[in-house]
Amino acid sequence: MASSPASDLPPARDPDGPYRVCLVCLGNICRSPMAETVLRDAITAAGLDGAVAVDSAGTGDWHIGEQMDASAREALSRRGYDGSAHRARQIESSWLPQYDLILAMDRNNLHNLRRMAAGTDTGRIRLFGPEGGLTEPDGGQIPDPWGGGAEQFDYVLGLLRRATPVIARRLARLLESDDAPA
């Protein structure tokens, strides 16, 4: 296998299973489900179908069971994505050990997740934007568009569409190096 620079994403917990990624925001009706939709697409484009499993959750409980916010679905649909299947979930601390990588949309989400993890394996809990090469706005945080206009949702979707191919390429490198003979 061609050698490639090792990715610094955390290694798979189970080398035989799919690499599990969870994207996390506050309500799980805007940012993280939009990110889930576009990261899935980038994973397919990177040839990683079946090798990476992506889902999402929120730290808050207000919208459990609800569909993605209508403005989020509309922004996705303007770009050719279908966000209709999503139903919001609230993350629980018992879920954390199931994931190889947990990506928070902003620093509040990151702080809440790390507090839930209570010091265990916090290296797997990271900020989404910088992992996808975003340094702006505000350190690569994805701003909360909830209650905003279509242009805010389009802006957020643009950020997500910039970051997700970078993350997919890094996952491809990681999984390629995991597969390499020792």
Interacting residues toward ligand 4NP by CB under 6 A: 25-31, 58, 62, 144, 146
Comparing C-alpha atoms, which of 124, 159, 133 is closest to residue 35?
Answer: 159
Rounded least distance, CB 68 to ligand 4NP, Å:
8
Name the phi and psi angles at 150, rounded to 5: -55, -35
For 19, 63, 68, 145, the CA distances from 60, given in Å and listed in that order, are 25, 8, 14, 16
Say whether 25 is catalytic.
yes
Q: In what order do the strands lie in the sheet with 19-25?
A: 52-58, 19-25, 101-104, 125-127
Query: Which one from 22, 100, 144, 170 is the annotated catalytic residue?
Result: 144
Tell the smallest beta-carbon distance from residue 4 to ligand 4NP (Å). Answer: 34
Question: Which CB, 11 or 143, lies closer to ligand 4NP?
Answer: 143
Q: Tell me how far, at minimum, the Cβ of 52 lies from ligand 4NP, in Å.
A: 22
Asked whether 35 and 142 are in contact (CB, 8 A), the reply is yes
- 169 annotated active-site: no
Residue in 22, 30, 31, 55 annotated catalytic: 31
Catalytic residue among 22, 25, 69, 124: 25
Q: Shortest approach of ligand 4NP to residue 29 CB, angstroms?
A: 4
Q: Which residue is nearest to ligand 4NP (CB)?
A: 27
| Closest CA relative to residue 117, chosen from 141, 137, 99 | 99
Query: What residues are labeled active site?
Result: 25, 31, 144
